[in-house]
Amino acid sequence: MKRYLATCPHTREIKRERGDFVTEGNKSYFRVDEVITEVVPCGGKSYVVIGDSPFSQSSGIDPMGIEVKCKDCGKTYYLFPTQG
């Protein structure tokens, strides 16, 4: 049985807002003071298989590799079977 390590190696941007709740009369709202953009590793563990065998025997790359698309960030990458 082939086992694949299923963590996405790509990064993604996350936007966070820093602020405070403000009450004016009967209305209350969230006032944004600062927007912070961070680049964090995706690390998604769920994926969809796009190609079962994208590499040929003579390519020099493991022919048991598969091409997958991450469900969290939407980027594609290759997975290869683990040893053991």
* Domain ranges across the chain: 11-79
Residue carrying structure tokens 């065998």: 53
Q: What pLDDT score was predicted for residue 56?
A: 78
Number of other CB atoms surrounding residue 65 within 10 Å: 18
Give the pair of three-digit tokens for residue 50.
């796009």
Give the pair of three-digit tokens for residue 8.
């996405």
Kindly indicate the confidence band of residue 3, based on its pLDDT and cuts at 50, 70 and 90. Answer: low
CA geometry: angle at 83 spanning 44 and 79, to 5°? 35
Return the closest-CA partner of residue 42 out of 69, 80, 19.
Answer: 69
Q: Which residue has the higher pLDDT, 39 or 61?
A: 39
Does the pLDDT value for residue 2 go beyond 80? no
Query: What does pTM read for this prediction?
Result: 0.63
- Say whether 69 sits in a helix, a strand or coil: strand
Residue carrying structure tokens 């709202």: 29
